[in-house]
Structure 1
């Protein structure tokens, strides 16, 4: 590739020199044609053209200019030539012909009697110019070839050096160091743009690998105990003779625990896929109004059974862009937590309104609330505060909500939800960007 580029570079110089020489020759021809046209005009304006040609030829050396006038029968009437040049056709026009001393630029003008007026300018300097063009073209070709090879080698070495750094970085990453990144030169050229794209890809890969490691660690660490308990329960059931009813009860309890383990496992996978950016989101218009009303209708009997006052407040026509299943699951987790952790006699408020910041869906309850210094911690995996440890759950509800909020470009807020009497409580708000028509 370097040799090919150098050859192209070397060929460009001589072509430019030859093109310049041709342009100079064309300008010279135009200049001589203009001089000949002016002289012919003066001669033809004289009453006696032959006398005018004779007088002009007498003071014009033949090596500087050819002047000749012929009659209609071809006879040479006047001029400084002994005869009409053999290399010059008797046709009106401007032409360059070869002569003994070099090229000649001739202007042949037809006369009314059928004769011709010849005014020609010998151009011996054109021989020198042509030779000079060849020498300059050859020298330029050599210089351009050397310069092209040198430039090509420098460019190639620079490119190979930068590619070698990419290869060394890739080799280090393949060896297991995912923290390495392709260095930039700071010139913001194509190589730096390539480095930026590769580094962004590596950041993405490192994030995905970290997510996989994290979910694997969580599954191994947090599902081991439930699985061991399940196995122990089944082992105890098999160790002693039991009635069919007792076996059915033990199996039902084991199935409930297995369902809890499967639910935890599915929640972990969902969170991991969302946080890793590999979840296949079904992004479309989500009717938040309908989702909130349906959720309220679903949980109203459970709230009454728990002795809670559940009220729904929602604006009509609230639409966002997102995955309906994930949005519904996040709202379900919030309302389920509020009902689960609010003591009997308390209240739960589920609302959805259009605000200047976007569509805000909030759940307020009169439960124990969450201390301000614990609100960031409860969004992590498997975190359960002391008041919730006696209740069923794996500590993944708010983690899933946080993951859904992140992937939908929403904002999650945890605040005090104290009632008017100053009691405890929690207010969790999700603010989604409203659906905009494209």
Structure 2
């Protein structure tokens, strides 16, 4: 910037000097030294900002207000002029031109404007740098203070959580910045941890509640045999009943461990391409005799080549649990159907029955562990069947919905496109 402005000012000064020389030539009647003397004398007295020197052909100073100078024809740059009379020393710029008779005409003007402009630009630049630096430091301090404040808020929330306030969440300021994104992610993680802890507490309570009855019944049977004595048939019957109770308890723990293993996503290593039509055919073949023995009807269908990226064993168990759940809670004459369909949006698996169904207010509750409707409490089971189905669905990133089939229940599992690889004609 300084070089560009200096170059521009030099061009302006040089242009003014050339214009002055042309004016002198117009006023003079000739181009000789003698004809230039009156014009130079008049211009010197005018005080127009230019200084002049006219040198005769023999090298003598004959007019002008400049001292004798050793110059050559051409452009003169940054020529230092010593003080003369009332004029101080200065640096000048101008032109030296030969006259027609061999003399020289020198026209100079001060280049003070160039120096002033250079100083002005330098001062402005330095001032701009200082102001910019001050603004940068101020902005940095403000940003740093805001960042430290947000970090302290997050740290304080973390300390509150560590001290037992599990409802505490990291505040968001609504700016949508990186701290808000981080806080939202941490809050989601805390929500998930809180949900898991509540689930663990609920499971502990449910386990204690649901196992207390069979354990008490088992102890009562053994106590009766122990205190009252029993014949061999009675002893064998008591042992048989006790073994059944123990098997039920072990089945409950096995189901809990199975659900925990599925929810921990440890089964991803067993994922492969699974044909849902094969899963439907397998479950239908296995359960059809048992369903028919209960006086019910089981049908299955699968449209197209439908491939799911998942764990075949878990998918088979999931579908088996749905069929078993429908058959166990439906009366004689119920029709149960399994339907697997493929579409560009993904894959869908449905288990439909025309039994009593589940009231709408309980359709989400029955997915919780150990939860059983009052009408089901007299039938065998531990209330973990649908919980396991939900765990397998979550592992495969499939949505699960329970809807009214009018009459009956419709359970639908929808696998997203990224989890389904289906061939279409």
TM-score (norm 2): 0.71
Q: Given the alignment, which residue of 14, 25, 29 partners 1:33? A: 14
Q: CA deviation at 1:297?
A: 2.3
**1:412 — aligned with what?**
401
Alignment partner of 1:196 is 2:184 = yes
For 1:393 and 1:114, the matched residues in 2 are separated by: 128
For 1:79 and 1:227, the matched residues in 2 are separated by: 132
Moved more, 94-103 or 174-183: 94-103
Look up the SS of the partner of 2:166 in the other structure.
Answer: coil
Q: CA deviation at 1:342?
A: 3.9
Alignment partner of 1:295 is 2:277 = no
**1:65 — aligned with what?**
50
Matches within 5 A, 1:11-410: 24-38=5-19, 48=31, 50=33, 54=37, 57-61=40-44, 64-67=49-52, 75=59, 80=64, 81-85=66-70, 95-100=77-82, 101-106=89-94, 119-124=107-112, 156-223=144-211, 225-226=213-214, 253=244, 256-257=247-248, 259-270=250-261, 273=263, 281=268, 286-320=274-308, 324-354=312-342, 359-405=347-393, 408-410=397-399
Q: Are the counterparts in 2 of residues 318 and 359 from structure 1 also a CA contact under 8 Å?
A: yes
Does the C-alpha gap of structure 1 residues 77 and 361 become closer, same or farther in structure 2, counting only changes over 3 Å? same
Q: Are the counterparts in 2 of residues 181 and 199 from structure 1 also a CA contact under 8 Å?
A: yes
Q: CA deviation at 1:334?
A: 0.6
Q: CA deviation at 1:177?
A: 0.8
- Rg larger in 1 or in 2? 2
RMSD: 4.9
Q: CA deviation at 1:384?
A: 1.9
**Gap runs ≥5 in structure 2:** 83-88
Q: What do the CA deviations read for 1:315-374 (whole angstroms, capped 9, x no partner)?
A: 112345555554433222111212333445543221223479864322233544334444
**Gap runs ≥5 in structure 1:** 1-18, 419-424
For 1:140 and 1:223, the matched residues in 2 are separated by: 79
- Give the aligned length: 403
Does the C-alpha gap of structure 1 residues 43 and 261 become closer, same or farther in structure 2, counting only changes over 3 Å? same
Q: What do the CA deviations read for 1:122-158 (whole angstroms, capped 9, x no partner)?
A: 1345666677678778877887787777666555544
Does the C-alpha gap of structure 1 residues 312 and 103 become closer, same or farther in structure 2, counting only changes over 3 Å? same
Look up the SS of the partner of 1:48 in the other structure.
Answer: coil
Q: CA deviation at 1:260?
A: 0.8
Look up the SS of the partner of 1:293 in the other structure.
Answer: helix
TM-score (norm 1): 0.69
For 2:313 and 2:103, the matched residues in 1 are separated by: 102
